[in-house]
């Protein structure tokens, strides 16, 4: 305007920053109302600054901001991730779930509601939020936790549809000494490989969840080494209950301290000792499963043998 009157037939120069947006024209001429128009288009979401300049004796410049967003009417969950995908079932550790929402053109969409639901594991897992709004990066966030081991499946979707799912596994924590036990059924053996003892191990975490593994467990000597001690491979047949066993024999003399090690880590500080002695000095210390396990275990017969089940009050 000049003296309050619109300036007509004036050439206006337009520019836009940053890159990612296009103007229909770099220049336009004002009409009788003093208006000059161009059209901004973009296939990339973001905030753009449009500058209009006119030179009428002096340079007159003004700016406006244009925010380009995704199309919420076609917003759908394009990806859904869990970090971490495995967590301890202690009801405090969490897995963070992030759903990324895009429109039909692949643009991120801000301000869209995403609905989360437990599709599997709803009996023992909890979501911190059932609904979240996408941020400027098109991401909606919630988290999951649980107190019981098992598999959890969570879904995420918008009102437009396009649901995605992610799986999370809740596992037992580290073995806890108050919930675990290691014993053997012989306090002494002849040191000539003619006798053997059975090692019985129960591994549970602090919450009582069985530590279920199918490899990586071994019994090793700790402290003073007794020569010629032989330990069989681990019996994993009852690993579902966190129960393991092995057989030990030897051809030397001395007191062997045996500890359970899982993937190089001593489990719950557990240990047991067996004395290997010459045949002439041996005492006949042999126990039945019931004798060594009292009073903490109960027994369930199966397939002609007995399985010790640890019961901690």
> What pLDDT score was predicted for residue 105?
87
Predicted confidence band of residue 3 (pLDDT cuts 50, 70, 90): low
> What pLDDT score was predicted for residue 206?
93
> What pLDDT score was predicted for residue 302?
32
Q: Which two tokens stand for residue 12?
A: 């206006």
> What pLDDT score was predicted for residue 297?
47
> Is 3.40.50.300 the CATH number for 181-310?
no
Percentage of the chain beyond pLDDT 90 is: 72
> What pLDDT score was predicted for residue 311?
36
- How confident is the model over 138-171, as pLDDT tens digits? 999 999 999 889 999 999 999 988 899 999 999 9
Q: 312 pLDDT exceeds 50?
A: no
- Give CA–CA dist 153/130, Å, rounded: 14
> What pLDDT score was predicted for residue 2?
61
8 Å CB contact between 146 and 170: yes
8 Å CB contact between 94 and 128: yes
- Give CA–CA dist 139/137, Å, rounded: 5
For residues 121-135, give the mean pLDDT.
Answer: 94
Backbone angles phi, psi at 279, to 5 degrees: -60, -35
Q: 220 pLDDT exceeds 70?
A: yes
> What pLDDT score was predicted for residue 308?
39
What is the domain partition of the chain in residue ranges?
A: 11-68, 72-171, 181-310
One fold for both 72-171 and 181-310? yes
Residue 59: CA count within 13 A, CB half-sphere: 6
* Fold category of 72-171 in CATH: Immunoglobulin-like (2.60.40)
Predicted confidence band of residue 298 (pLDDT cuts 50, 70, 90): very low
Backbone angles phi, psi at 44, to 5 degrees: -135, 125
Predicted confidence band of residue 289 (pLDDT cuts 50, 70, 90): very low
- Give CA–CA dist 265/260, Å, rounded: 8
- How confident is the model over 75-102, as pLDDT tens digits? 999 999 999 999 999 999 999 999 999 9
Strand partners, 43: none
């Amino acid at each position: 305007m000049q003296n309050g009157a619109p300036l007509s037939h004036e050439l206006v120069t337009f520019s836009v920053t940053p890159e990612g947006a296009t103007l229909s024209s770099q220049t336009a001429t004002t009409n009788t109302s003093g208006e000059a128009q161009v059209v901004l288009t973009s296939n990339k979401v973001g905030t753009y600054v449009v500058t209009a300049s006119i030179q009428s004796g002096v340079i007159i410049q003004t700016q406006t901001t244009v925010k380009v967003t995704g199309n919420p009417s076609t917003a759908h969950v394009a990806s859904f991730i869990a970090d971490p995908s495995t967590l301890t079932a202690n009801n405090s550790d969490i897995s963070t779930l992030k759903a990324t929402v895009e429109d039909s053109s692949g643009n991120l969409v801000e301000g869209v509601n995403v609905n989360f639901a437990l599709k599997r594991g709803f009996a023992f897992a909890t979501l911190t939020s059932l609904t979240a709004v996408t941020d400027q990066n098109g991401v909606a966030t919630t988290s999951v936790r649980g107190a019981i081991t098992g598999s959890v499946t969570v879904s995420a979707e918008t009102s437009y549809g396009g649901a995605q799912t992610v799986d999370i596994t809740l596992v037992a924590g580290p073995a806890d000494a108050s919930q675990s036990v290691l014993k053997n059924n012989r306090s002494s053996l002849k040191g000539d490989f003619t006798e053997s003892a059975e090692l019985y191990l129960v591994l549970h975490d602090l919450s009582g969840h069985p530590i279920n593994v199918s490899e990586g467990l071994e019994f090793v000597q700790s402290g003073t080494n007794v020569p010629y001690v032989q330990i069989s491979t681990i019996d994993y047949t009852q690993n579902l209950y966190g129960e393991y066993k092995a057989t030990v024999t030897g051809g030397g003399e001395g007191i062997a301290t045996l500890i359970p090690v899982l993937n190089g880590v001593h489990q719950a500080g557990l240990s047991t000792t067996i004395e290997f002695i010459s045949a002439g000095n041996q005492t006949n210390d042999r126990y039945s499963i019931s004798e060594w396990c009292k009073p903490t275990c109960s027994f369930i017969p199966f397939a002609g043998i007995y399985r010790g089940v640890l019961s901690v009050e």
